[in-house]
Structure 1
């Protein structure tokens, strides 16, 4: 009996201490916490909400449409877009009937904040150069979700191929028909989670920096460190695998280094360089029909690699840059010099910022601090990418247990208001993802759909759900672009 009382008192003290500690946290610290899967929590038993929350007839029709579109996107050849002496008529994509089109939100009394991006599409820049979109987001876009569908759609209309920027040591090893495999010995320092961030590290655009630390026998150049990355593409997979160039972004602060491209065990291209305090853009053109190759890095001292890009020199490129655990308030932790140097090489035309799912579970009384944090980050990105338009993609619907069942988090509208305020005050566009999903409790319908559009954590999209979101975002973007073209004539 005494033992039970003692254990009970001990548990009570632990609970009181934990409560006091949580109350001591600053609200912004909650923004980078990871979301556990609800089914992993002790005693969890899934119970779907017994309500009339179901997919609308419109949504069901869209899903059947997606199946046919996806197969066509994989089968169609990449269009060859030729530059002409005189501008060809602008491409104005036809938006499929029945796609829910939630309009982009911005101050309609002013010119569209996406004008620079739309002008590049309208004037045919994609025929002569790249039109690049950087898609930053939280775990909702991890694994090329949403991005891949948006990329396929835009490349179909405006040309281009490849998956764009990826880390040398990605968390996922397959993207759009491209498989990546890095050798042992790579050290990866990531921006996220914030608790493991290294002070003074020069993080780049993809959110990490990779260094090969594997030692080897000294060669004639004095190189002692070596690392490699193998890349394989399935040409049947669609546009993502149809890249013609490989670019490497790296910094070598001291000593010589070398990057060699191999077909099997045969070297087919090589670039050598000396030390430099600046990020370098090392480019390889791929031979026709080359489906598999290996990049081998050797150096006298460890080289910092900020990512590679698998791309075509023209057309649309859409980069998937997931920052798992971020709320969109971590860009200022990236090294500004490194970002500016990479921006000068990449020359992006549009930034997509998709965040929010890490903010919602940390319930607080007000979200003014979140709006202020986003405003700070967006203004920082504006200094790094001057004149580049941005779209803030709002938080998706999310579910929590309410008694025996699941319903939408009650604080999502507050988070949305903070995001809209940040977009409005910085003059960028906003897209309401939750509204596009169907609004309150739509996450329940997405989980219950057959096949499911969202996973049993009531947060993340399944691949099918991610494609649906990608299609709706594409439709909204192209609807706004069409209005721009019509107003320009």
Structure 2
């Protein structure tokens, strides 16, 4: 309803292949995605809207010590492969501490694109998400997905040193529900001997915390026996305080599908994860010749945000606007008129829900700016004129970090 015709069908092959060609970075202990100093695109754009509700985020940021701060970054294909999120995580952890990529799904459709974590799994898991049929109405997790194992199903995560923030972890947290007293897994950290673990029998969301002996690189988990639980994800973190940024992308999603996660489940996750900031980055899949669609979208997103505000009462919310998105008219690439309607719609969504707004399109340079990002050297956006390269994503994240820190500085003063 909200997607460009044909875009979702072609996305998997065309977009993924082009983006994969961009991800040829070598392993390094330092930030290898530093933005070239000769790259002048982009401009500082402050947070607007109800910035005062960012207090929950800023108050925790001011008192980290041994208390972690957590951010959920929801989005569409713009953040697939951890793009934007990865560099924002790196910048925040550089300044405020923390180590690890945070929450990862059991099954992922962007694992080939993600360079921060090498992620593999057996093919016998049952997987449900916003994008699949869910005939039994199973409760989708905080990311909008869940996975059900068979005996022998396994998943493995390996930290990658593309960034310092993704290079290691020493705490693993597993989130699941609907286990029974016989539900048993085994796990291994850094290829050590397997440890068997019985899960807690409960219908509510459970958190299993595993502490490694030191900075670790790999985690392997396998389901052995008993009732098959619903697994919602694994989080790779470090002990103590610091900042964790969870990347929750879902291709072809306008954001309205977040309504499919039950309020009860959101509240259960909040008890474990305690999100201080939720970022919503949508817009790539909102376009239609029927202008009434934008009103429908506005109403749906207002309801989604209000639902999340109820489930996360002490959490700040930030709505990131659509990118500039262009179409070819004659020999020129110009901003799609729908983008201008969408930007105004998103501003109204932020106003109606009393949350903060960040104008990504304005940061890019406003109208017709996507063409400059595509033709930059090196390229900052893909030739679909809708998505960023990893380098472009890091540039966006850098400007978002600057906007957050500018607002944080004003909060402290």
Could you say which TM-score interval applies, normalised by the shorter chain? 0.7 to 0.9
Following superposition, the deviation at residue 234 of structure 1 comes to: 3.8
Deviations 1:395-429 (A, max 9, x none): 00111222344221012111111111110111100
2:148 maps to 211
Q: TM-score, normalised on structure 2?
A: 0.87
Following superposition, the deviation at residue 101 of structure 1 comes to: 1.7
Following superposition, the deviation at residue 267 of structure 1 comes to: 2.8
1:354 maps to 281
Match of 1:103 among 46, 50, 69: 46
Give 3-state SS (helix, strand or coil) of 1:232's partner. strand
The answer as to 2:269 corresponding to 1:269 is no
Following superposition, the deviation at residue 382 of structure 1 comes to: 0.7
Deviations 1:14-47 (A, max 9, x none): xxxxxxxxxxxxxxx3359772559999xxxxxx
The answer as to 2:242 corresponding to 1:315 is yes
Give 3-state SS (helix, strand or coil) of 1:482's partner. helix
Structural mapping, 1:389-404, within 5 Å: 389-404=316-331
Unaligned runs of 5+ in 2: 15-24, 34-39
Match of 1:149 among 62, 83, 87: 87
2:18 maps to none
Match of 1:185 among 117, 124, 133: 124
Match of 2:340 among 413, 419, 427: 413
The answer as to 2:229 corresponding to 1:303 is yes
Give 3-state SS (helix, strand or coil) of 2:203's partner. strand
The answer as to 2:91 corresponding to 1:165 is no
Match of 2:156 among 227, 230, 233: 230
Which of the pair has more CA radius of gyration? 1
Following superposition, the deviation at residue 197 of structure 1 comes to: 4.6
**Structure 1 pair 106–299 and aligned structure 2 pair: CA distance change class (3 A):** same
Contact 1:33 1:325 in 2 (8 A): no
Contact 2:184 2:226 in 1 (8 A): no
Following superposition, the deviation at residue 279 of structure 1 comes to: 1.5
Give 3-state SS (helix, strand or coil) of 2:256's partner. coil
2:382 maps to 455
Deviations 1:45-104 (A, max 9, x none): xxxxxxxxxxxxxxxxxxxxxx9xx985469xxxxxxxxxxxxxxxxxxxxx99722011
1:200 maps to 137
Q: Distance in 2 between matches of 1:177 and 1:171?
A: 15
Q: Distance in 2 between matches of 1:251 and 1:265?
A: 26
Q: TM-score, normalised on structure 1?
A: 0.74
2:76 maps to 138
Contact 1:255 1:299 in 2 (8 A): no
**Structure 1 pair 309–32 and aligned structure 2 pair: CA distance change class (3 A):** farther
